[in-house]
Amino acid sequence: MSTTAKKEGNQAKEAAGQAAGHAQDALSKTGEALSHAASATGQAISQGATAAGQAIGHTAESATSAVGSGMQSLAGTVRDSGPQSGMLGSATRTVADTLDSAGRYVEDKNLSGMMSDISGLITRNPMPAVLLALGVGFLVGRALTSSRS
């Protein structure tokens, strides 16, 4: 092989090595850019999901408060329009008082407070909670099978 051919071969090897190095650098930069884009997209999705969750939670809290207020209003209506004396008057007052106190509880506690209370109740009384859940599940199952017939 002549020295010119060797020289050209070496130059070709160097050029190929430089091209490979440039390609590797370009791939590395592209990978980094994709990684940054994926990270930014993930953060944007996470922030959007958090904002949506907070909006839904706020809406649920507002709706629960409105239900409590409605229950108190219904209690006033029952109290005003029901009989005032005798046995029916006593029953009317009891129903109105129960609706009023339940409405105040729902309005004050909202959804998160009620869930916390239920959680505490289940923790303090696990067996009755399990039995109640089984009973409710049985009744729902019976209702669903009887509605299919």
What angle do the packed helices 126-148 and 86-124 form, to 10 degrees?
Answer: 110
Please tell me the distance from the alpha carbon of residue 132 to that of residue 130, in angstroms, as a whole number: 5
Tokens coding 76:
């006033």
What pLDDT score does 48 carry? 73
The model scores a pTM over 0.75: no
Instruction: Print pLDDT tens along the chain (149 aa).
Output: 567 767 766 776 776 667 666 667 766 777 676 666 667 777 777 777 777 666 776 777 777 778 888 888 888 888 888 788 888 888 888 888 888 888 888 888 877 888 888 889 889 998 998 999 899 999 999 888 887 76
